């Protein structure tokens, strides 16, 4: 495909940013639009664990993207750090799951998929993670799980894009509708005027369903609120990520510890609540008792792009020329971003795809 394309990307979260980054060298011009500032919604609000919370509970479509991304993240982090001087801090700490009900399924999955997940004695966990609360009886561990410092990842991606001459970013530029020529979409209407393109990509996170509705298409992507709290501690307090009863603690390199997260169906409301704050503090103290002596330094909420089974929509919208989707990653946008955006670029550019694209195709999944 010759380099004469102008690609318009709607939505500047990690998916939109990385889509732009992957396409920049391959097409004539990339225009990225965001209704607010790039990377400030779900991509900023998440925890950044580079693994689905319970990878064995997902189907193979999510697993395939997750595996590719997990292997790719360290080099993506290096590349962005080298290009921008902003380190996304891909921090490999390993992850302990405690007192799982479906531990057998988890271990069977790991054996089947060739992932280094194993059962460990509680005494070994207590030795490795002295800050962990008592009262847990069983643990499994995966050593190579990393977390990425997502606010820095989006900052780094934005800086990288700003240095590329054929990429234009328009922030505070809300898309109000699509520009049609017959059955083709040839651009979008925004608060700042018309933006035309040969291809239009919808990567608008929790807002993707609303936007596709403007074309009379039903995309089952809806906002799912999640609240998190943050502590600042000594940098050696918590050595690994730990997860129990659906809640997790994530250590950053500088001693910040994130505790998450809630799952709430509250529409587009992002107001943090006292109920969630108390619940998250209780989880924090249960996981890491030393946090009882600390007060959270921050508490926020974000909106995940909820989708059936968490399988994203990646590919061309059938019946509408020029319209593409890369959205609906639910709880795993940061986990799946590198693979999703690489697969997307392969499809748009007509290259051999990194993995089988069939499970993510919008055809048959939107009405």
For residue 196, give both structure tokens: 């035309």
Q: Identical fold at 6-46+152-221+308-360 and 95-143+222-306?
A: no
Q: Under 8 Å CB-to-CB from 44, ≥6 apart: which residues?
A: 150, 151, 154, 302
Q: What is the pLDDT of residue 291?
A: 97
Q: What is the pLDDT of residue 2?
A: 47
> CA-CA distances (angstroms) from residue 297 to 222, 232, 259, 276?
29, 7, 12, 15
Q: What is the pLDDT of residue 311?
A: 96
Q: Which residue shows structure tokens 């921008």?
A: 84
Peptide bond into 261 cis (omega under 30): yes
95-143+222-306 homologous superfamily: D-Amino Acid Oxidase, subunit A, domain 2 (3.30.9.10)
Q: What is the pLDDT of residue 3?
A: 62
Architecture of domain 6-46+152-221+308-360: 3-Layer(bba) Sandwich (3.50)
Domain ranges of the chain: 6-46+152-221+308-360, 95-143+222-306
- Can you tell me the distance from the alpha carbon of 321 to that of 337, in angstroms, rounded to the nearest whole number? 25
- Can you tell me the distance from the alpha carbon of 363 to that of 271, in angstroms, rounded to the nearest whole number? 35
- Can you tell me the distance from the alpha carbon of 327 to that of 325, in angstroms, rounded to the nearest whole number? 6
For residue 116, give both structure tokens: 């280094």
- Can you tell me the distance from the alpha carbon of 365 to that of 367, in angstroms, rounded to the nearest whole number? 7
DSSP-derived 3-state class of residue 57: helix
- Can you tell me the distance from the alpha carbon of 177 to that of 340, in angstroms, rounded to the nearest whole number? 25
Q: What is the pLDDT of residue 93?
A: 95
Q: What is the pLDDT of residue 25?
A: 94
Ranges of the chain with pLDDT below 70: 1-4
pLDDT tens profile 129-152: 999 999 999 999 999 999 999 999
Q: What's the whole-model pTM score?
A: 0.96
């Amino acid at each position: 495909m010759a380099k004469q394309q102008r690609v318009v990307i709607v939505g500047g979260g990690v998916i939109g940013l990385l889509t732009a980054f992957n396409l920049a060298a391959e097409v004539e011009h990339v225009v990225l639009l965001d209704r607010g500032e790039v990377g400030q919604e779900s991509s900023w609000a998440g925890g950044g664990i580079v693994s689905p919370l319970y990878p064995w509970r997902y189907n193979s479509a999510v697993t395939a993207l997750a595996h590719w991304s997990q292997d790719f993240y360290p080099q993506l982090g290096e590349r962005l750090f080298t290009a921008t001087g902003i380190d996304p801090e891909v921090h490999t700490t390993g992850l302990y799951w405690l007192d799982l009900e479906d531990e057998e399924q988890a271990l069977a999955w790991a054996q089947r998929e060739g992932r280094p997940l194993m059962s460990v004695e509680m005494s070994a966990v207590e030795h490795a993670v002295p800050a962990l609360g008592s009262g847990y009886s069983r643990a499994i561990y995966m050593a190579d799980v990393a977390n990425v410092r997502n606010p820095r990842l989006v900052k780094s991606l934005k800086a990288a894009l700003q240095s590329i001459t054929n990429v234009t970013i328009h922030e505070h530029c809300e898309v109000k509708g699509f520009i049609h020529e017959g059955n083709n979409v040839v651009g979008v209407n925004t608060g700042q005027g018309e933006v035309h393109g040969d291809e239009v990509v919808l990567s608008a996170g929790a807002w993707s369903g609303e936007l596709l509705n403007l074309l009379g298409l039903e995309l089952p992507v809806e906002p799912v609120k999640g609240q998190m709290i943050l502590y600042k501690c000594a940098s050696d307090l918590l050595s690994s990520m730990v997860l129990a009863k659906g809640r997790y603690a994530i250590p950053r390199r500088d001693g910040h510890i994130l505790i998450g997260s809630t799952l709430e169906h509250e529409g587009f409301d992002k107001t943090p609540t006292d109920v969630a704050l108390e619940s998250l503090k209780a989880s924090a103290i249960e996981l890491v008792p030393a946090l009882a002596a600390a007060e959270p330094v921050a508490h926020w909420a974000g909106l995940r792009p909820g989708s059936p089974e968490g399988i994203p929509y990646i590919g061309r919208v059938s019946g509408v020329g020029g319209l593409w989707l890369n959205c609906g990653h639910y709880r795993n946008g940061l986990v799946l971003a590198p693979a999703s955006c690489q697969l997307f670029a392969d499809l748009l550019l007509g290259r051999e795809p990194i993995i089988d694209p069939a499970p993510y195709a919008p055809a048959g999944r939107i009405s």
